[in-house]
Amino acid sequence: MRHQRTLLREGRPARATVTSVKKHHGSHGATHTVMAYEFPLFGGGTTTGKATVNKPPAVGATISVVYDSDQPKRNRPYPFPLVTVDRDF
């Protein structure tokens, strides 16, 4: 939860494009879906990210992400599972 809070407080928002959605089969019959995405950086260039999701959007869809401007590989799709913006702030 601390990492999500820090990323939300200090990170930069960006619009990402979903580039792939793949199902992975784990041990004991478990499956999970991994979504990959690409987004532009504030200073120029692009980077990628991936996240495990329950209901992935279609490939080509646009999603919101938040990334650490010092380490852009530290990124997450928004909204985060444990921390969100306080709407009454």
- Domains observed in the chain: 2-78 (2.40.50)
Q: What is the pTM of this model?
A: 0.85
What's the mean per-residue pLDDT of the chain?
Answer: 90
Q: Report the pLDDT value the prediction gives residue 18, as an integer from 0 to 100.
A: 98
- pLDDT greater than 90 at residue 5: no
3-state secondary structure of 66: strand
- pLDDT greater than 70 at residue 68: yes
pLDDT tens-digit readout, 28-65: 888 999 999 999 999 899 999 999 999 999 999 999 99
**What type of residue is 72?**
P
**66, 72, 75 from 55: Cα distances, Å:** 19, 24, 19
Contacts of 15 (CB under 8 A, 6+ apart): 39, 40, 62, 63, 64, 65
